[in-house]
Structure 1
Amino acid sequence: MSGLESLYQQIILDHSKQRTGEGLLEPSHAAAENHQYNPTCGDEINLRVELNEEKSAIEHVSWEGDGCSISMAAASVLSDMAPGMSLTEFQELVDKFREMLRSRGQIEPDEEYFGDAAAFAGVSKFVARVKCAMLSWVAAEEAAKEATQH
């Protein structure tokens, strides 16, 4: 295993143990919640996205879930990264994350752009684990869309 792969594994393990955003927060602005379930492995997440007053940016991401270290770490990384992003920036990030995960290891992530989310590049080589990493990101994408309509 390369040093980079080892570092990426450590990031995932750290986020799965020290989880950012865990525990649903009561929103004070426009917010929406989305539930996602992976029947293949049993991973499950309820994720809430709260927008700023103008409904133009993500203010908070909070969640509760149960699943493997990959799915829990992905939710933690997302909760770390998304607050402060405009909805356009956030959707671009989700799209690029999805593209990286579907690349089967062919896309080398830009660590400056992805931050800790780059650690999930190795997951793309294991098709059965891609849904684990995407679970919270799909929930956040859906919740953000719904929150703009409230």
Structure 2
Amino acid sequence: MTTAIMALSNVRDLYQQVILEHYKKPRHKGKTNPVHRQQRGHNPSCGDTIELTLKLNDAGDTIEDVKFEGEGCAIAMASADLMADVLRGKQVTEALSMVQRFQNMMKGEDEFPKELRK
């Protein structure tokens, strides 16, 4: 087996390990207390449903906590948990910018930021 194929296999194994870890033991499952913002998303093509809740600081400009509830595949649930990790502590404007950038990446209009690749 060549080094490149072994490296790809290792990355795939790590990816699967991270997804399964966040799916089986999500760190941010539930609802924030209090709920300052709430959003529900549903993918009709596969049935995944996620409800996201946010707790903001007193000024309302920083995300103090993010939690989610929902049903879906391992990738959807793990992605929600990983997203909560990234958004906690971010200013609302920065979080909205990240959402816009992610949407652009999904359309092929932007690249994944190097600082978040880990």
Q: TM-score if structure 2 supplies the norm length?
A: 0.79
The 1:111/1:17 distance shift into structure 2, 3 A limit, reads farther
- Deviation of the 1:78 alpha carbon: 1.2
- Over aligned residues, Cα RMSD in angstroms? 2.3
Does residue 5 (structure 1) correspond to residue 8 (structure 2)? The answer is no
Q: Choose which of 39, 55, 78 in structure 2 pairs with 1:34.
A: 39
What pairs up with 1:1-150 in 2 under 5 angstroms? 2=8, 3-27=10-34, 31-103=36-108, 107=111, 109-115=112-118
In structure 2, what is the Cα distance between the partners aligned to 1:50 and 1:25? 6
In structure 2, what is the Cα distance between the partners aligned to 1:82 and 1:75? 10
- Report the number of matched residues: 111
Tell me the alpha carbon deviations over residues 24-62 of structure 1, each in whole angstroms, 9 at most, x when there is no partner.
1321xx702111111111111111111111011111111
The 1:14/1:100 distance shift into structure 2, 3 A limit, reads farther
Greater RCO (Cα-Cα under 8 Å, separation 6 or more): 1
| Percent identical residues | 34
Q: Where is the helix percentage greater, Structure 1 or Structure 2? A: 1
List runs of 5+ in structure 2 lacking aligned partners.
none
List runs of 5+ in structure 1 lacking aligned partners.
116-150
Dislocated runs of 4+, deviation >4 Å: none
